[in-house]
Amino acid sequence: MTDRFSFDVTATSGKARLGVIQTPRGEVRTPAFMPVGTAATVKAMLPESVAATGADILLGNTYHLMLRPGADRVANQGGLHHFMNWEKPILTDSGGFQVMSLAELRKLTEDGVRFKSHIDGSEHMLSPERSMEIQELLGSDIVMCFDECPALPGDRAQIAESMRLSMRWAARSREAFGDRPGHALFGIQQGGLERDLREESAEALISIGFDGYAVGGLAVGEGQEAMLGVLDFAPDMLPADKPRYLMVVGKPDDIVGAVKRGIDMMDCVLPSRSGRTGQAFTRRGVVNIKNARHADDPRPLDEDCTCPACTGYSRAYLHHLFRSGEILSSMLLTWHNLHYYQDLMAEMRAAIAEDRFAAWEAGFYEQRAMGDIAPL
Amino acid sequence: MTDRFSFDVTATSGKARLGVIQTPRGEVRTPAFMPVGTAATVKAMLPESVAATGADILLGNTYHLMLRPGADRVANQGGLHHFMNWEKPILTDSGGFQVMSLAELRKLTEDGVRFKSHIDGSEHMLSPERSMEIQELLGSDIVMCFDECPALPGDRAQIAESMRLSMRWAARSREAFGDRPGHALFGIQQGGLERDLREESAEALISIGFDGYAVGGLAVGEGQEAMLGVLDFAPDMLPADKPRYLMVVGKPDDIVGAVKRGIDMMDCVLPSRSGRTGQAFTRRGVVNIKNARHADDPRPLDEDCTCPACTGYSRAYLHHLFRSGEILSSMLLTWHNLHYYQDLMAEMRAAIAEDRFAAWEAGFYEQRAMGDIAPL
């Protein structure tokens, strides 16, 4: 254990990086996938089960938590870690991403964003200063700058203007965050798909100085090809000795593509959300458990998976649970998906350690190309 | 382990009995509470968590399982134990209780009951012979006779007629069940609130001969006082050397009252269903976690409880989860309730072993009379 936040890259394979983030709450092995605990819970999972999948860190949503139960309430309960019974590191987003999606319910100014709660219509304000305050009340280990995240594709002038606003907000976030040993503040690069705007954004962030850098403003409608196109150059613009975090991404092949391009951290609701809608991610692609072909199938979802859903239950049973609307369906499929995502990260870390990432990646796509096991 | 079904009473305290049921799948400590796994799952619980609460045996519902996923399908998957990953004993009801509640969707004859599925309207038939067949396909360890269960209060003549039909069905159930070493068949006493009809029913069952005897036809609208009134005499009519099972009961004080009167086994959906609606059973009565008084309360639901919900989380957190509609709310409250029910059974077993049941019971009511802890 350490009382400081630090990051070390211990091996590389092509642009892919193996590393470790040290925090007072434990270490995070990178590349890392962070399950999302929106409302102070990773939906349908006990926190000890999330840890058992191999997750070293969770993501919490400032927007959701400030509205319910409220940041002061969480602080009074001893902070988010104690509140939700998760003692390992937590990264919180700034609230910016969710607020921007409120559309007519928000009003944007240089100062920040006024908005109405989607829960009860009550009025709230988020600004760089307020976001820093809330994330501190929550007790977040890795705090994100407050930024604006425009949808893509977008008008270049608007994306430039938005990026420059985010950079001014990044400076205000840095100022408001102050000096908090053991806690980290990450800047967020913007600039859409434009290389020169990404460069301008990276330079602005570096001149302010952060403990880590996120590639923001992606996975907002541009498609995988465009996203990976940006990742061909954007991570290289960010300091090599700090963690690089790709926000709200993604599907397994998005994650593999991002790690290949030098990304160290990712988060996404996909494995947990898909678990609740009957979609399982496996080594051989996506399995829709509600399909009738599984109704009499005694085989597990993924024969190479060691999660409780795959070692204890058949597809026939999981199909029955899903069709019956049973909570256990969400529990088991979410567990499987999070376990699969962590297995994927562990496999990539092992491949980078042995400098065989390209070969591993070829095997990953080969296995997926086989498709799901044949029906009985 | 044994290859036979057997029951031994090892101690008594007043009419309360301590005992053990031996089965090839393990032993059941009595008095026993059986959580209900309607659709091949105790809702919102992993089976290993159900076992961790102290449950030795589950109840499965023939009616639900025959409709979805279907008894043949379960048999093809290796039986209900393997299907749902629960290797300990399972008792299945006969389907009679659920079918009777279908009202206009059913047609009753001497042969059995024709009915339409509540899921898809498809036509089905249950009779003593068909119920025995389905319960065997499921692989049930303790099979219940197919009976009719009339609502109370009811007309004496109708209750007598119904009871006599159930006794003819009991003889047919016994005949159809045959000789299945290691599996038990329980008869079900009927007769409403009428002592002489209960006596007639008990005599009919005893002359047929069963491995255990249930007190049926209660908890169907008669109220606690009337139910306990029947339990003042009904269990005594049943063989002392066989388990006595009170079906679909009940609240904690119903259970205490039943054990006091010589009941060995019980089942009820209440702890799991209440868990999903935000009601927690505690040593000091029922806690409604949705009440605003819990929103800032850092204390556990029940300070004397060692379940994961009480050792890992505050009322404030559980309140937040329930208000946010989170699945984890159902998971934690169900776990707590099942844990509390099993603690209650364990306390009663210890009290009977030391012949201090009456003193224990006084303490139970004393603690409840204190009411929930004062708000902060």
Mean pLDDT of chain A: 96
Domain count, chain B: 2
Chain B interface residues facing chain A, Cβ-Cβ under 8 Å?
39-41, 43-47, 68-69, 73, 76-78, 83-85, 295-296, 298, 308, 312-314, 316-317, 320-321, 323-324, 326-328, 330-331
* Residue A375 resides in a domain: no
A:B CB pairs within 8 Å? 98
Residues B12 and B132 in one domain: yes
- A339-349: average pLDDT: 98
B273 is a domain residue: no
Residue A100's pLDDT band, with cuts at 50, 70 and 90, is: confident
**What is the secondary structure of B187-222 as a DSSP string?**
EEE--TT-HHHHHHHHHHHHHH--SEEEE-S-SSSS
Assess if residue A374 is contained within a domain.
no
Task: Indicate the pLDDT class of residue B183, thresholds 50, 70 and 90.
Answer: very high
Note whether B146 and B103 are same-domain residues. yes
Residue where a domain terminates, one of B268, B295, B318: B268
The one catalytic residue among A56, A93, A297, A302: A93
* List A141, A211, A267, A297, catalytic entry: A267
Backbone angles phi, psi at A29, to 5 degrees: -80, 130
Interface with A, mutate which of B38, B41, B61, B293 (most A CBs under 10 A): B41
Tell how many helices (H) and how many strands (E) occur in chain B. 15, 16
ipTM exceeding cut-off 0.95 for this assembly: yes
Tokens at A135, concatenated: 């994330």
* Rounded Cα–Cα distance for residues B76 and B251 (Å): 37
- In angstroms, the CA B295 to CA A213 distance is 36
Q: Which two tokens stand for residue B20?
A: 């053990």
- Three-state SS at B156: helix
pLDDT bin (cut points 50, 70, 90) of residue A104 is confident
Contact criterion met (CB < 8 Å) for B43 and A327: yes
Assess if residue B49 is contained within a domain: yes
Per residue in B73-105, pLDDT (tens digit) is 999 999 999 999 999 999 999 998 888 888 777
**Is A353 inside any structural domain?**
yes
CATH (domain of B176): 3.20.20.105
Q: Which of A220, A164, A165, A214 is nearest to A193 (CA)?
A: A220
d(CA B49, CA B53): 6
* Residue B112: band (very low, low, confident or very high) from pLDDT cuts 50, 70, 90: very high
Residues of chain B contacting residue A73, judged by C-beta atoms under 8 Å apart: 295-296, 316
Task: Determine, yes or no, domain membership for B374.
Answer: no
Query: Does A206 share its domain with A78?
Result: yes
Measure the CA–CA gap between A89 and A265, rounded to whole angstroms: 13
Q: Nearest-CA residue of chain B relative to A320?
A: B69
pLDDT of A1 strictly over 70 = no
On chain A, the residues whose CB falls within 8 A of the CB of B40 are 317, 320-321
On whether both B100 and B231 belong to a single domain, the answer is yes
Domain that holds residue B202: 6-268
Name which of A76, A295, A327 is nearest B330 (Cβ-Cβ): A327
Query: Is the Cβ pair A316, B68 closer than 8 Å?
Result: no
Instruction: Tell whether A167 and A202 lie within a shared domain.
Output: yes
Query: In terms of Cα–Cα distance, which of A37, A272, A142, A144 is closest to B320?
Result: A37
Please indicate, yes or no, whether residues A240 and A284 belong to a single structural domain of this protein.
no
Q: How confident is the model at residue A99 (pLDDT cuts 50, 70, 90)?
A: confident
Query: Which residues have CB under 8 Å from A130's CB, separation 6+?
Result: A112, A146
Do residue A39 and residue A185 come from a single domain? Answer: yes
Q: Say if CB B184 and CB B221 are below 8 A apart.
A: no
Cβ of B40 within 8 Å of Cβ of A316? The answer is no
Question: Is A267 an active-site residue?
Answer: yes
pLDDT tens, residue by residue, A195-228: 999 999 999 999 999 999 999 999 988 999 999 9
Contact yes or no for B39 and A296 at CB 8 A: no
Q: Do B176 and B303 fall into the same domain?
A: no
**Which of B56, B93, B297, B372 is labelled catalytic?**
B93
> What integer pLDDT is reported at residue A151 of this predicted model?
83
Q: Point out the domain boundary residue: B245, B268, B291.
A: B268
Statement to judge: residues A59 and A189 lie in one domain: yes
Which chain B residues are Cβ-neighbours of A313 within 8 angstroms? Answer: 85
pLDDT of the residue at A203: 98
Q: Which of A39, A295, A323 sits opposite B324 (nearest CB)?
A: A39
Burial class (CB in 10 A: 0-12, 13-18, 19+), A325: exposed
pLDDT digits (tens, 9 = 90+) for A38-62: 999 999 999 999 999 999 999 999 9
- Written as six digits, the tokens of B67 are 């409709």
Q: Which helix (H) or strand (E) holds A352?
A: helix A327-353
Structure tokens at A78: 């001893």
Q: How does strand A285-288 pair with strand A279-282?
A: antiparallel
HSE-up of B21 (CA within 13 Å, CB side)? 27
Tokens of B131: 């119920």
Let me know whether A243 and A304 are in one domain: no
Residues in chain A whose beta carbon is closer than 8 A to a beta carbon of chain B? 39-41, 43-47, 68-69, 73, 76-78, 83-85, 295-296, 298, 308, 312-314, 316-317, 320-321, 323-324, 326-328, 330-331
pLDDT in tens, A163-188: 999 999 999 999 999 999 999 999 99
Give me chain B's average pLDDT, please: 96
Structure tokens at A291: 């399909």
Separation between Cα atoms, residue B92 and residue B111, nearest integer Å: 21
Domain for residue A43, yes or no? yes
Question: Which pLDDT tens digit goes with each residue over B214-254?
Answer: 999 999 889 999 999 999 999 999 999 999 999 999 999 99
Domain for residue A376, yes or no?
A: no
Based on the domain organization, do A83 and A184 belong to the same domain?
A: yes
Picking from A39, A77, A331, the nearest residue to B326 by CB comes out as A39
A60, A30 in Cβ contact below 8 A?
Answer: no
pLDDT at B376: 84
A148 lies in the same domain as A37: yes
- Answer yes or no: is pLDDT of B1 > 80: no
Q: What single letter denotes the amino acid at residue A248?
A: V
Helix segments in chain B, DSSP class H? 47-52, 62-67, 71-76, 80-84, 96-100, 128-138, 156-177, 195-208, 224-231, 252-260, 270-276, 308-312, 315-323, 327-353, 357-369
Interface contact flag, A331 B330, Cβ < 8 Å: no
Tally of CB atoms within 10 A around B209: 11
Final residue of a structural domain among B268, B299, B326: B268
